[in-house]
Chain A
Amino acid sequence: MQRALHIDPVKCTGCLQCEMACSYENEGLFNPSKSRIKVFTFHHEGRFAPYTCTQCAEAWCQKACPVDAIQIDAATGAKVIVDGRCVGCKVCTIACPFGTVNYNSVTGKVIKCDLCGGDPACAKSCPTAAITYVDADWTGIDRMRAYAEQSLAGTA
């Protein structure tokens, strides 16, 4: 079964454990500025929203890359940067409509979520289950269930 990151922003408290887990997994440092997942704070609205790559089936980044440095991990479906090939041209960062591929000026390569090879550190670190790693074909199942429960109202 293929899995996907599923984000429920209502549960997010903005603590950045996910950003630290991501950077620690990928860079060996606690460094939110090098995280592949970002948590956004909407102060006026009182809301938090983690955001990262959705692993598009037909990925703009992959199509745009002139050196085939973005490849599919067959096990997870993740679009993965092959560092040895990436030349840091940044075309993928322009191509991605969601902004989830970004350039790392320290390495001269781009970085994006690769689902940690199938065991995403962000989901493991999240204290409120705002980020989960679930059946890719059923990311809507919690919401469906909630509405199904609502449909019971009045039938009891």
Chain B
Amino acid sequence: MAWTRKILRVDLNAGTCTAEALNMAWANDYLGQRGLATKYLAEEIDPKCDPLGPDNKLIMTTGPLTGTMASTGGRYSVVTKSPLTGLVACSNSGGFIGAEMKNAGWDMIIFEGKAPEPVYLYVENDRAELRSAADLWGKSVWEADEILHKKHQDPQLRIACVGRSAEAGCLYSAVVNDLHRAAGRSGVGTVMASKNLKAVAVRGTKGVGNIADPQAFMAAVNAGKQVLADNAVTGQGLPTYGTQVLMNVINGMGAMPTRNMREVQFEGAEKISGEAMHEPRAGDGKPNLTTNAGCFGCTIACGRISTVDKGHFSVNNKPEYWGNSGGLEYEAAWALGSDTGVDDLDAITYVNFLCNEDGIDPISFGATVAAAMELFEAGAITTEDTGGIDLGFNRADVLVKLAELTAIGEGFGKDLGMGSKRLCDKYGRPELSMTVKSQEFPAYDPRGIQGMGLAYATSNRGACHLRGYTVASEVLGIPVKTDPLVTEGKAELVKAFQDATAAVDSAGLCAFTTFAWSMEDIAPQVDAACDGDWSVDRMLEVGERIWNLERDFNMRAGMTADEDTLPRRLLKDAANVGPAKGRVNDLDQMLPEYYALRGWSPDGQITAETRARFGI
């Protein structure tokens, strides 16, 4: 069991909320969360539909381990068709709302249609209803969160919400939950706003039970917690420095994308690193970092809680930003920092606050700003386009101004909200967009970490580190160390990471557990919680099935295998410094082998044999 076996279907056109049974045949094939919701999406929408039209659906989904005591078992995902990529989007978030949904008795909430007026969904266990969001529309996530808690007189209400950026049509808006956790990538928040759905407020008091074998489950959970505690990355590195533990490491190996990926090392990396977040700052003598924080059930607790120096130019006249809030993760620090050339820790922390407050994906935003800065430098954009803003690289004041504009979709912020691909197309320099399938890159330059080039090129949601994190092997030696500069063996590595990650996501667990856990640690937890036998092999088979399903959806949406590639800059312009000096990404040495390992044709099509094997 472990599933509640119940889905809430919300028809936004009609304003109705209906309970229905979970399709257990699909749950057996796709487990839950990412996999299962993608199956529902693929079955229920036309992949060619307009992502921002009423025919798209938006699914909030938990996994069988969401809401249980399994470490990190609080994850939920938002699954829909992305307006940024036009492909399947699955954005995963921690915090507490996933577990709350499960406690309210729901595995999944499917939103369809479009509400005639702004609404929010209120869920209290079995009771679910749409209510007017007239007073919430036009408010930031933080404002709406406060209004909803007051209105319902319930401090224990958990809320997921979209910000003003999504209302304004920014194509990479997030769904933010619990103030500073986010289903961040691919514009899932934009889809939510397009449906006139401002927020989902949930209170669940039923508890999560239905564990198939409680004794075996608690034994597996406790063993798993011990493995996380004993591991250097999950037991020490992540709690102490968060994901920012990587800033100096990746920079050192010459894989730090810098200034729109022109360079591979950032001279200011140390100043915006996890280590720097611990140092007392000059202004007020306090460190940037106040404490680490855990999401629901997480015994790693990599989350950062930070402040900005009250005297810093970005906030000195804005007391509402003087308190603590969600601090910098590595991806945000890289995109807002290295990629724009800004080494001002306070400025990028403040911009990160804005990203949380108005639901902006900081990766896509930072990378789009970086592209705009290069367009400006090249003369393709002028101050006439930017409303008078002088877009230089390395300018903290410019970054801050652009974030404030993008948060509310005004001025040049409207252009930035299109994302790097559409921005560079609009201004006639498409080659300056550092994207795959229209989604901006994360923080690992594939010239210095070869496997990541293949992972990016083949990711089912465009450039992304969370679809196949070979950095674990190529940099950290997990599960075995591979040379980041060779391509041999990387096709197999990428496929293994992609399949395993799809399964981990679908269980309702956090991908960061896999720094310490192998599938041998995870499968017993799933097996004890769920009906049936969930062996390591079955988990990996489910992962591979999910990967093929996502690929199939994308192909049906109109994607071609030609798009399994990287920007010319990464394939032709060699790294100029560092250990990867002289290297480009040798994607062509990996891609054919990858297609063969996947059971796809040499031109990237899923073969009939592979379809039959996975029931696609």
Contact = CB atoms under 8 A, between A and B. Distances in A.
A24 interface: yes
B204 interface: yes
11 contacts: A10-B291, A13-B239, A15-B295, A24-B218, A30-B207, A33-B204, A43-B324, A46-B305, A46-B307, A127-B229, A128-B301
Given A20-B69, A29-B209, A30-B208, A127 B225 contact: yes
Interface in B279-297: 290-297
Contacts of B68: 20, 30
B291 A46 contact: yes
A21 B218 CA distance: 10
Given A14-B294, A16-B297, A17-B297, 6 more contacts: A13-B239, A17-B71, A20-B69, A31-B207, A43-B324, A46-B323
A30 B301 contact: no
A100 interface: no
B299 interface: yes
Contacts of B292: 13
Contacts of A21: 69
A30 B323 contact: no
Nearest to B292: A13
B347 to A, nearest CB: 20
A119 to B, nearest CB: 14
B69 A13 contact: no
B179 interface: yes
B206 A13 contact: no
A17 B103 contact: no
A102 to B, nearest CB: 12
B554 interface: no
Contacts, number: 86
B205 interface: yes
A28 B209 contact: yes
A16 B296 contact: yes
Interface in B181-219: 204-209, 214, 218
A48 interface: yes
Contacts of A48: 291, 293
Interface string A15-53: 111001101100111111110000000011111100000
Nearest to A127: B299
Contacts of B293: 13-14, 48
Given A29-B208, A29-B209, A45 B67 contact: no
A29 B105 CA distance: 13
Interface in B221-268: 225, 229, 239
Contact of B323 (A10, A31, A44): A44
6 shortest interchain CB distances as A-B pairs: A31-B207, A46-B324, A15-B294, A29-B207, A46-B290, A127-B299
Given A17-B69, A46-B307, A31 B205 contact: yes
Contact of B291 (A27, A30, A33, A47): A47
A45 B324 contact: yes
A127 B239 CA distance: 11
Interface residues of B, number: 38
A64 to B, nearest CB: 26
B156 interface: yes
A125 interface: yes
Q: In this complex, which of B68, B156, B205, B294 has the most chain A Cβ atoms within 10 angstroms of its Cβ? A: B294
A28 B67 CA distance: 14
A10 B292 CA distance: 10
B298 interface: yes
Contacts of A29: 206-209
B482 interface: no
A15 B205 contact: no
Contacts of B306: 46
A43 B205 CA distance: 23
B210 to A, nearest CB: 9
B508 to A, nearest CB: 12
A32 B103 contact: yes
B299 A15 contact: yes
B420 interface: no
B207 A23 contact: yes
A31 B301 CA distance: 20
Contact of A24 (B69, B205, B296, B303): B69
A13 B94 CA distance: 14
A5 to B, nearest CB: 19
Interface string B6-31: 00000000000000000000000000
Given A21-B69, A23-B207, A45-B324, A33 B297 contact: no
B323 A43 contact: yes
B325 interface: yes
B207 A13 contact: no
B293 to A, nearest CB: 5
Given A28-B209, A29-B208, A46-B307, A125 B69 contact: yes
* Interface hub of A15, A29, A31, A43 (most chain B Cβ within 10 A): A15
Contacts of B225: 127
A30 B1 CA distance: 14
A14 B295 CA distance: 7
Contacts of B205: 31, 33-34
Residue of A14, A23, A47, A128 most packed against chain B (CB within 10 A): A14
Given A46-B290, A47-B291, A33 B324 contact: no
B69 A45 contact: no
B290 A31 contact: no
A45 B305 CA distance: 9
